[in-house]
Amino acid sequence: MSSRDLVLGRVRRALADTGRDDTPYEQAVPRDYLREHGERSVAQTVDLLAENLADYRAIVHRCTDGELADLVARLLEERGSASVLVPPGLDDDWLAASDVTRIADQVESSPHELDQVESVVTGCAVAIAETGTIVLDGSPDQGRRRITLVPDHHICVVRVPGQVVSSVPEALERLDPARPLTWISGPSATSDIELDRVEGVHGPRTLEVVLVASSASSAATS
C-alpha cells in the first residue's frame, strides 16, 4: 500500500459517518454580512484609503493625471534610483519625465538581477479603503509577482476613484480568483519574538502609493 492510499483510506474512514451535503456552493455560506461599514461619499472613501495606507507606513501621494509623470520622476530622483523595472503594459507617459534607465520585465531575469534594480513602477487591480490594501493581479501594467517583491522600492499608481472600493467583498467581486493575486498592506515587514519590527524581508522596504485623479474629475470636485 502506498502512502497515498494510506492517507486516502484514513480520510474515507473519517468521513464514513458524515452525511452527504448537496447544498449548492452559492448557498453554503450565509452572505448576509455587511458589504461595507458605514456610509461614505466617494471623496471620503478615497480619504479613508489614504489614511489606512499611511497607517501601514506606506507613503501616499496625490496628483492629477497631468501631474503624474513629473511626480514619478521626482520620486525616482529622490530615491536616487539609477534604474526602474517596467511591466510590459505600463503606460509610457508615466515615465515620460524621467531619464532613469528602464529595465524590461523578462522571464529569464534571475532574482539576483532583479535585486540590482532600485525601483519598480506598476499600476494595480483595485485598492480597498477599509483595509488600506492594494491588490495586484498580474495584468500587463503590473507584471509578474516577483518584480514587485524583489526590488526594494515600489511605486504603485492607483486611479481614483475608478480603482478604489470600500470593502473586501466589493474588491472580490472585481477580481478573478484564477489570476495570481498579490494583496499588499504597506511595505513588507515582520517582527521577531521580541517584537522588533524589520522591514523589507518579504518584499519592498518602501512602498509609495500615488492616488491619481483625472484632471476633469479634480476640477469637478474643487
Q: List, in order of start, the domains of the chain with CATH numbers.
A: 41-221 (3.40.50.10420)
Q: Which letter does DSSP use for residue 150 in this model?
A: S
Between the CA of residue 93 and those of 96, 97, 106, what are the distances in Å? Answer: 5, 8, 21
What is the spatial distance between Cα 112 and Cα 131, in angstroms, rounded to a whole number? 32
Contact assessment for residue 126 and residue 92, using Cβ atoms and an 8 Å cutoff: no
pLDDT tens for the chain, 222 residues: list them. Answer: 799 999 999 998 888 887 777 788 778 888 788 888 888 999 999 999 999 999 999 999 999 999 999 999 999 999 999 999 999 999 999 999 999 999 998 888 888 888 899 999 999 999 999 999 999 999 999 999 999 999 999 999 999 999 999 999 999 999 999 999 999 998 777 776 776 766 666 678 999 999 999 866 554 444
Between the CA of residue 105 and those of 8, 43, 87, 182, what are the distances in Å? Answer: 42, 35, 6, 17
What is the spatial distance between Cα 107 and Cα 109, in angstroms, rounded to a whole number? 6
